């Protein structure tokens, strides 16, 4: 009889605990944050596509939470991208180079991080209309931090009727973080007649990391 009483007591206790648990979880919104052990909600517990942008705190996702090379062009808003740009206005007076190399225009670009920089320089070749064949020549250099990255030598194929049009120089450079000086220089050749540049212009833009 005593054994039977113990069995009945255990059964009653089980019913009470079960009923209590069932009652505490009935309805909706019955599990609160303090009911979950810290760190116990795992990846497998989250329904696919269940976490939306409205569930993520603003500025909560940092670079450390993004897998390297995981974002593609489709994931980036083009209007959100911004790169530093440096520019120098056109010089109205000619750049004379009667005595050695002369800097015609210069500008600086400061990069917060390394990247590719597209440099676009233009100039107008201005030669003496009375110059003989072989006398209209000079050297134009595009320099980055004092080092020539592109050299152009206009010659006899440049005549007066083409001096009104800007001559372009395009150069793509991989530059480190920091400030870089970009310049356009000109030097007459020894046998050259009166030749100079005018309207030189430089634009440098970071186009990618």
Please check whether the domain covering 85-208 is classified as CATH 1.10.15.40.
Answer: no
pTM for this predicted structure: 0.57
Q: What is the pLDDT of residues 41-94, one digit of tens each?
A: 887 878 887 788 777 888 777 777 788 877 777 777 765 666 555 555 545 567
Q: What is the pLDDT of residues 34-46, one digit of tens each?
A: 778 887 788 787 8
pLDDT at 133 over 80: no
So what's the pLDDT on residue 21? 47
Sorted by where each begins, the domain ranges of the chain are: 85-208
Q: How confident is the model at residue 33 (pLDDT cuts 50, 70, 90)?
A: confident
Residue among 167, 169, 183, 187 at smallest CA distance from 102: 187
Q: Find the range with the poorest average confidence among 49-53, 128-132, 177-181, 200-204.
A: 128-132
């Amino acid at each position: 009889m005593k054994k039977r009483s113990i069995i009945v007591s255990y059964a009653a206790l089980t019913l009470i605990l079960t009923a209590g648990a069932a009652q505490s979880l009935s309805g909706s919104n019955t599990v609160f944050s303090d009911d979950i052990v810290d760190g116990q909600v795992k990846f497998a517990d989250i329904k696919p596509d269940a976490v939306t942008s409205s569930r993520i705190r603003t500025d909560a996702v940092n670079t450390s939470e993004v897998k390297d090379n995981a974002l593609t062009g489709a994931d980036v808003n083009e209007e959100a991208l911004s790169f530093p740009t440096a520019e120098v206005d056109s010089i109205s007076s000619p750049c004379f180079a009667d005595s050695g190399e002369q800097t015609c225009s210069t500008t600086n670009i400061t990069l917060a991080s390394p990247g590719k920089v597209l440099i676009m320089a233009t100039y107008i070749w201005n030669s003496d209309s009375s110059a003989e064949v072989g006398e209209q020549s000079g050297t134009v250099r595009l320099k980055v931090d004092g080092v020539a990255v592109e050299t152009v030598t206009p010659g006899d194929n440049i005549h007066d009727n083409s001096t009104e049009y800007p001559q372009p120089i395009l150069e793509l450079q991989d530059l480190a973080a920091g400030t870089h000086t970009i310049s356009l220089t000109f030097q007459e050749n020894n046998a050259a007649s009166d030749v100079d540049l005018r309207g030189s212009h430089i634009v440098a833009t970071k186009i990618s990391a």
